[in-house]
């Protein structure tokens, strides 16, 4: 009876008899991870019903070959199904979206990881209005600047709309946590305008330590009806990320050319971080109207007068910048 009970228990555990099939659960397997540690994590997530049965099965049939990467498994899986997934290459992609990327750059990165039809669906969902952000102005379908940075796991069952909805939800949570709610008005700007400003702060600040002062420069220039004269906005319209801005570029007749047009650009110009939003909401008090990078670590010097700016630019040149 004991032996029979053991056999029954083993068969039930191996075949996940009575287990409820649920949502996909994802784990990351690090290089050098042991089979036992993977089994423990799968059991904790409800994928395996018994690590002991998994261990016994592996003793009989051998340990499965496991490879580093991201894997997704349905809850309540059989041990055979788990081993089959582990024996194959990782079945889940991890898309890393850094702050400062444009939607175009996000899609380009995704295209190196996912099939072209899936990428095309994501691109469409980012622009056709099928996924809406509460920060979007009326009539806008563009989600530029309204998706959050971070890692997005794309499991076998994940749809393109799932990815975009997750990006938008995470941004809404991130911005709200910083105090920027969709209906807020901050220093005379609506929430969408604050996101636009935050995106310029993200690109122009380079380092977190610069961002609150960059936000001050933007606010001071706006209050004085001065053009922002931000290279990042010009480059955005030209689909370039960084690099020198030429005289010809500065003549581009675009609303993103903040040398020719006063005010903020019409949309955000990149994915923004929580730190950029925080800096925009809480700028450092000061009289500055100019700034420039003055060392190779990205330190920026801020100036109230153009003469001070020229002195800072001379210092940067002396340092090889």
Q: Are strands 150-154 and 300-303 parallel, antiparallel or unpaired?
A: unpaired
Overall average pLDDT of the 214-243 stretch: 94
Average pLDDT taken over every residue of the chain: 90
pLDDT over 70 at 212, yes or no: yes
Q: Choose among 143, 189, 142, 188: nearest CA to 170.
A: 143
Question: pLDDT band at 10, cuts 50/70/90?
Answer: very low
Task: Indicate the pLDDT class of residue 7, thresholds 50, 70 and 90.
Answer: very low
**Domain match, 168 and 200 both:** no
The answer on 218 and 145 residing in a single domain is: no
Does residue 147 contact residue 168 with C-beta atoms inside 8 Å?
A: yes
Q: Angle, to 10 degrees, between the axis of helix 274-281 and the axis of helix 208-223?
A: 40
Which band of pLDDT confidence, cut at 50, 70 and 90, is reported for residue 22? low
Question: Tell me: the pLDDT tens digits for 64-120?
Answer: 878 889 999 999 888 888 888 988 889 999 999 999 999 999 999 999 999 999 999
Residue 18 maps to which CATH number? Answer: 3.30.1490.480
Residue 8 has pLDDT above 80, yes or no: no
- In terms of domains, do 231 and 277 share one? yes
Query: At which of 123, 144, 177 does a domain end?
Result: 177
Clarify whether residues 304 and 192 are in a common domain.
yes
Residue at which a domain ends, from 54, 87, 120: 87
Looking at the structure, do residues 191 and 309 belong to the same domain, yes or no? Answer: yes
87, 117, 150: which is the final residue of a domain?
Answer: 87
- 285, with CB counted inside 10 A (0-12, 13-18, 19+), is exposed
Residue 17 has pLDDT above 60, yes or no: no
Please report the pLDDT score of residue 166 as a whole number: 97
* Percent of the chain at pLDDT exceeding 70: 93
Query: Are 82 and 98 members of one domain?
Result: no
The answer, yes or no, to whether residue 12 has pLDDT greater than 90, is no
73 lies in the same domain as 137:
no
Two structure tokens written together for 94: 């991890």
Return the pLDDT at 180.
96
Whether residues 215 and 296 share a domain: the answer is yes
Instruction: Clarify whether residues 195 and 157 are in a common domain.
Output: no
Residue 159 and residue 208 in one domain: no
What does the pLDDT look like over 231-287, one tens digit per residue? 999 999 999 887 888 888 998 889 999 999 999 999 999 999 999 999 999 999 999
Number of domains in the chain: 3
Please tell me whether residues 296 and 194 are part of one structural domain: yes
Q: Which domain holds residue 200?
A: 185-318
Cβ distance 252 to 235 under 8 Å? no
The arithmetic mean of pLDDT across residues 179-196, rounded, is 94
Distance set, CA 45 to CA 69, 163, 211 (Å): 17, 22, 40
Same domain, 103 and 49: no
């Amino acid at each position: 009876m004991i032996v029979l009970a053991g056999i029954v228990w083993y068969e039930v555990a191996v075949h996940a008899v009575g287990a409820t099939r649920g949502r996909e659960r994802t784990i990351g397997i690090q290089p050098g991870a042991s089979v036992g540690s993977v089994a423990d994590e799968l059991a904790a997530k409800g994928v395996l019903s018994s690590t002991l049965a998994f261990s016994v099965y592996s003793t009989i049939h051998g340990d499965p070959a496991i490879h580093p990467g991201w894997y997704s498994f349905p809850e309540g899986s059989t041990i055979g199904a788990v081993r089959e997934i582990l024996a194959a290459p990782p079945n889940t992609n991890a898309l890393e979206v850094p702050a400062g990327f444009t939607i175009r750059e996000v899609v380009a990165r995704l295209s190196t990881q996912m099939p072209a039809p899936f990428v095309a669906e994501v691109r469409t969902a980012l622009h056709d209005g099928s996924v809406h952000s509460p920060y979007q102005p009326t009539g806008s379908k563009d989600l530029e600047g309204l998706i959050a940075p971070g890692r997005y796991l794309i499991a076998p069952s994940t749809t393109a709309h799932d990815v975009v909805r997750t990006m938008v939800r995470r941004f809404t949570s991130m911005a709200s946590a910083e105090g920027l709610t969709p209906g807020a008005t901050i220093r005379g700007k609506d929430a969408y305008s604050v996101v636009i400003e935050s995106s310029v702060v993200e690109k122009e600040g380079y380092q977190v330590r610069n961002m609150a002062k960059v936000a001050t420069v933007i606010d001071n220039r706006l209050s004085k009806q001065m053009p922002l004269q931000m290279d990042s906005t010009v480059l955005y319209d030209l689909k370039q990320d960084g690099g020198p801005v030429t005289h010809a570029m500065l003549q581009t007749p675009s609303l993103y050319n903040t040398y020719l047009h006063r005010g903020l650009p019409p949309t955000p110009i990149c994915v923004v971080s929580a730190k950029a939003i925080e800096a925009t909401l809480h700028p450092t008090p000061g009289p500055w109207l100019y700034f420039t990078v003055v060392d190779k670590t990205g330190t920026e010097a801020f100036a109230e007068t153009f003469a001070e700016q020229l002195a800072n630019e001379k210092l940067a040149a002396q340092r090889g910048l």
